[in-house]
């Protein structure tokens, strides 16, 4: 959690602070300070509809951290492509990966200029590894691969990380295109980690998504278990497979949430 704003967001050019923004609202949900009243008010409205949302957002961050820990540890991955990075907070992908393997190389990708400014300043590597940042759209995966190859060796396995990203791409065809280009570009032994909010677990979440879509510029689309399973078709699921995020390899110290968390998490290996 950030205690103070990372930099004066309002000083950025062309920043519309009156409309809720995906990265800033998420930052507020996970306890950050890099957000505006419109973002906070949207989150308050969503939470009134679906009170689980702040708990779920923090549970998603914990899933990201456990997944990266697994990938850098047990799976031996040293290269990460984190798409839909969001505003930096504590426990970002490179923090976790480099705490396990300091030589890890991470490429962050987001299409939000606010994220870009923060990420360039704050997502900095330890001396043995590397981080770089791409201002690119997930729907343009060819550009992502071309530019990421300046930092990553695509002849070696890469973990593609998409935590709360694909729900901001409404079109199934675009999601399929993005995933097929990215997974085709990486070698066997690479991984894909996804967190995707569920349409079929908690009826309050679709209601909250509808509220978000009435307020924000970037629409969200929830997907069912079967739809999320389709995203990892052809890949080998790392046990326990596709589950809700707190169920994915919880740490022994983790306390199970009192209520089910309506977010799917999965880590899958390219055979
Ligand atoms: C909810 S935040 C998730 C942040 C981060 N992955 C995490 O787990 O904390 C979603 C991020 O995805 C980015 N995003 C949404 N659509 C995108 C797209 N088509 N291409 C690239 N980034 C996108 C947003 O700008 C935002 O920063």
Burial of 126 (0-12, 13-18, 19+ CB in 10 A): middle
Percentage of residues in the chain having pLDDT higher than 70:
94
Tell me the three-class secondary structure of the chain, residue by residue.
CCCCCCCCHHHCCCCCCCCCCHHHHHHHHCCCCCCCHHHHHHHHHHHHHCCCHHHHHHHHHHHHHHHHHHHHCCCCCCEEEEECCCCCCCCCHHHHHHHHCCCCEEEEEECCHHHHHHHHHHCCCCCCCEEEEEECCCCCHHHHHHHHCCCCCCCCCCEEEEECCHHHCCCHHHHHHHHHHHHHHCCCCCEEEEEEEECCCCCHHHHHHHHHHHHCCCCCCCECHHHHHHHCCCCEECCCCCEEHHHCCCCCCCCCCCCCCCEEEEEEECC
Residue 158 Cα to ligand 1 middle (Å):
19
**Rounded Cα gap, residues 196 and 178, in angstroms:** 15
Domain-located, residue 218:
yes
pLDDT higher than threshold 70 for residue 12: no
Mean pLDDT score, 51-66? 95
Total count of residues recorded for the chain = 271
Residue 33 lies in a domain: yes
Q: Scanning the structure block, which residue is given the tokens 């939000």?
A: 112
Return the higher-pLDDT residue of 115 and 9.
115
Structural domain range at position 236: 9-269
Q: Is there a domain that residue 2 lies in?
A: no
Instruction: Report pLDDT digits (tens) over 186-220.
Output: 999 999 999 999 999 999 999 999 999 999 989 99
* Tokens representing residue 180 in the block: 């097929």
Residue 256: pLDDT above 60?
yes
What pLDDT sits at residue 120?
79
Q: Is pLDDT of 97 > 50? A: yes
Distance 194 CA to ligand 1 centre (A): 12
The verdict on residue 1 lying in a domain is no
Pair 72, 158: CB distance under 8 Å: no
Taking CA atoms only, the protein residue closest to ligand 1 atom 12 is 84
- Say what the pTM is: 0.94
Query: Which domain CATH number covers 196?
Result: 3.40.50.150
Number of domains present in the structure of the chain? 1
Q: What are phi and psi of 111, to 5 degrees?
A: -110, 15
Asked whether the predicted pLDDT for residue 118 surpasses 90, the reply is: no
pLDDT band at 14 (very low <50, low <70, confident <90, very high): low
Q: Does residue 24 register a pLDDT over 90? A: yes
Does the pLDDT value for residue 168 go beyond 60? yes
Residue 3, in any domain of the structure: no
Compute the distance from residue 253 Cα to the ligand 1 centre, in Å: 29
Contact predicate 32/9, CB 8 Å: no
Q: Compute the average pLDDT of residues 246-269.
A: 89
Which is it for strands 191-197 and 263-269: parallel, antiparallel or unpaired? antiparallel
* 69 occurs within a structural domain: yes
pLDDT at 1 over 60: no
Site to substitute for ligand 1 among 32, 134, 163, 165, most atoms within 8 A of C-beta: 165
From the CA of 112, give the closest atom in ligand 1: 25
pLDDT in tens, 133-154: 999 999 999 999 999 999 999 9
Q: Cβ neighbours of residue 25 under 8 Å, at least 6 residues apart? A: 35, 39, 42, 43, 216
Residue 3 pLDDT:
37
pLDDT at 172 over 50: yes
CB crowding 147-161: b at 16 or more within 10 Å, else e: bbeebbeeeebbbbb
Ligand 1 centroid from CA 90, angstroms: 16
Across the chain, mean pLDDT equals 92
Cα–Cα distance measured from residue 180 to residue 270, given in angstroms and rounded to the nearest whole number: 12
**In the predicted structure, residue 16 carries a pLDDT above the cut 90:** no
- Which has the higher per-residue pLDDT, 114 or 48? 48
pLDDT score recorded for residue 78: 98
Q: Per the structure block, which two tokens stand in for 64? A: 């990201």
How far apart CA 242 and CA 207 sit, in angstroms, is 23
pLDDT exceeds cutoff 90 at 266: yes
Q: Which residues does a 6 A CB cutoff place in the pocket of ligand 1? A: 22-23, 26, 60-61, 64, 84-86, 110-112, 115, 137-139, 163-165, 168-169
In a domain, 181, yes or no: yes
Q: 110 pLDDT band (50/70/90 cuts)?
A: very high
pLDDT at residue 11 is higher than 60: no
> Who's near 194: CB < 8 A, 6+ residues apart?
162, 163, 166, 228, 231, 232, 264, 265, 266, 268
- At 44-56, the pLDDT tens digits run 999 999 999 999 9
Residue 207 lies in a domain: yes
């Amino acid at each position: 959690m950030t205690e103070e704003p990372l930099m004066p967001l309002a000083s950025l050019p062309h920043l519309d602070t009156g409309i809720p923004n995906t990265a800033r609202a998420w930052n507020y949900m996970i306890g950050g300070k890099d957000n505006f009243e419109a973002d906070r008010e949207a989150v308050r409205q969503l939470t009134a509809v679906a009170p689980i949302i702040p708990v779920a957002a923090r549970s998603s961050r914990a899933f990201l951290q456990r997944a990266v820990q697994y990938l850098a540890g047990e799976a031996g991955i040293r290269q990460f492509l984190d798409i839909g990075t969001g505003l930096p907070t504590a426990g970002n992908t490179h923090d976790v990966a480099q705490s396990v393997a300091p030589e890890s190389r991470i490429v962050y990708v987001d299409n939000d200029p606010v994220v870009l400014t923060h990420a360039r300043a704050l997502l900095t590597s330890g001396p043995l590894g590397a981080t770089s940042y791409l201002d690119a759209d997930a729907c343009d995966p060819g550009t992502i691969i071309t530019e990421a190859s300046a930092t990553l060796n695509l002849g070696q396995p890469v973990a593609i990380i998409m935590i709360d990203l694909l729900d901001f791409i409404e079109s199934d065809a675009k999601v399929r295109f993005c995933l097929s280009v990215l997974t085709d570009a990486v070698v066997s032994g690479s991984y894909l980690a996804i967190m995707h909010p569920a349409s079929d677990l908690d009826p309050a979440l679709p209601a909250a998504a509808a509220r978000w879509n009435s307020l924000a510029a970037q629409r969200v689309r929830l997907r069912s278990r079967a739809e999320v399973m389709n995203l990892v078709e052809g890949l080998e699921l790392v046990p326990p497979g596709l589950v809700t995020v707190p169920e994915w390899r919880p740490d022994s110290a983790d306390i199970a949430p009192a209520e089910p968390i309506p977010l799917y998490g999965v880590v899958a290996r390219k055979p």
